[in-house]
Amino acid sequence: MLARLTGEAAPGEGVLVGPGDDAAVWQPPAGMAVVVSQDALVEGEDFHRDWTGPHQLGRRCLEVALSDLAAMGAVPAWCTATICAPSATVLDDVLALTLGLREAGAEAGCSLVGGDLSGIRGPLVVDVCVGGWVEPGSVLRRDAGRAGDRLAVTGSLGGAAAGLRVLRDGAPAGASAEQVRGWLDAQLRPRARLAEGRRLAALGVRCAGDLSDGLLVDAGRTAAASRCRAEIVAEALPLAPGLREAFPEDWRELALGGGEDFELLVAAAPAVLARAIAAWPAGLAPLTEVGRLRDGAGVALVEGGAPRTPPPVQSRHFT
């Protein structure tokens, strides 16, 4: 239904039956495993329509879902989406939202093959399911970390949380327009680290996850799944440009507890990580070592060589 709304598009690679039938049919490459994830964004919980237009929102919904495929080292192939729209919603907005989904999908090689459109007496809900493929032996898993592994992240941290702060409270004094734009982009226009996930898998990394809920929460998840303790070094964090200067009190909270940066968190043996950093292509989001896995449980923060109480977690989801 949903895909039909915006007319025919070229079917994606391997798509045998696209939108318009009861279900979509897709032939994965021979021998490959199928990777699927579903992510909902709910108005008032995950976004506000004052902050984002429908086209940008559609793009964001797809990128957020794709981030989970990136974290598995997968190649996206298809997506389906449910839109629950209040009856007062303008059709143009539904079309713009769908176009945003489609556009972001096309850029990632994943075509909108189906979904559902429903009314709702409540907020707008966009729920995206994404699918793709991965070599069965190269899956990036949360539970593949080992004590002694180094932790690393792609890109920079805290930008999305700073962008949310700007949307809520306005820009902080002294921040440049370019810095503010960078934070807003991180919040409103995240990009899934698909190429980075593929490269990590190719470089022999086997443990990764995305930072949807912030480094503290997600390092805790990786540590728990791998039955280890995660130790994060505050000075090592690749902060979003201008973050520390503009938020001298709160930068740790934004970088560690804010969430929605949709970067990847990696655990790998020191030699594997060193090789990956040395071989890392300049065109990808940089890969930076930020800590290590040890025996034990939980997450610890180290600053100036000493333990430091972690800042509060700002996640907007109940997890």
Binding footprint of a copy of itself on the chain (CB under 8 A): 1, 16-17, 20-28, 30-31, 33-40, 42, 44-46, 67-69, 71-72, 74, 78, 80-82, 84, 113-123, 125, 127, 129, 131, 134, 136, 139, 141-143, 209-210, 225, 317-319
Give whichever of 170 and 318 is closer to a copy of itself, judged by the CB atom: 318
Helix (H), strand (E) at residue 41: strand 33-42
CB 73, CB 138: distance < 8 Å = yes
Work out how close the CB of 316 gets to a copy of itself at its nearest, in angstroms, rounded to a whole number: 9
Total residues found in the chain within this entry:
319
Q: Residue 236: CB partners within 8 Å, gap ≥ 6?
A: 288, 289, 290, 291
Give whichever of 50 and 249 is closer to a copy of itself, judged by the CB atom: 50
Work out how close the CB of 243 gets to a copy of itself at its nearest, in angstroms, rounded to a whole number: 25
Q: Three-class SS of residue 84?
A: strand
Work out how close the CB of 31 gets to a copy of itself at its nearest, in angstroms, rounded to a whole number: 8
Q: Cα separation of 18 and 3, whole Å?
A: 9
Give whichever of 127 and 231 is closer to a copy of itself, judged by the CB atom: 127
Q: Cα separation of 57 and 274, whole Å?
A: 37
Give whichever of 74 and 164 is closer to a copy of itself, judged by the CB atom: 74
Place of tokens 């850029």: 107
Work out how close the CB of 290 gets to a copy of itself at its nearest, in angstroms, rounded to a whole number: 18
Give whichever of 168 and 235 is closer to a copy of itself, judged by the CB atom: 168
CA 154 → CA 20, 101, 211, 299, 307, distances in Å?
39, 24, 10, 19, 24
Q: Cα separation of 246 and 253, whole Å?
A: 13
Work out how close the CB of 59 gets to a copy of itself at its nearest, in angstroms, rounded to a whole number: 19
Q: Cα separation of 259 and 108, whole Å?
A: 23
Work out how close the CB of 156 gets to a copy of itself at its nearest, in angstroms, rounded to a whole number: 20
Give whichever of 130 and 157 is closer to a copy of itself, judged by the CB atom: 130
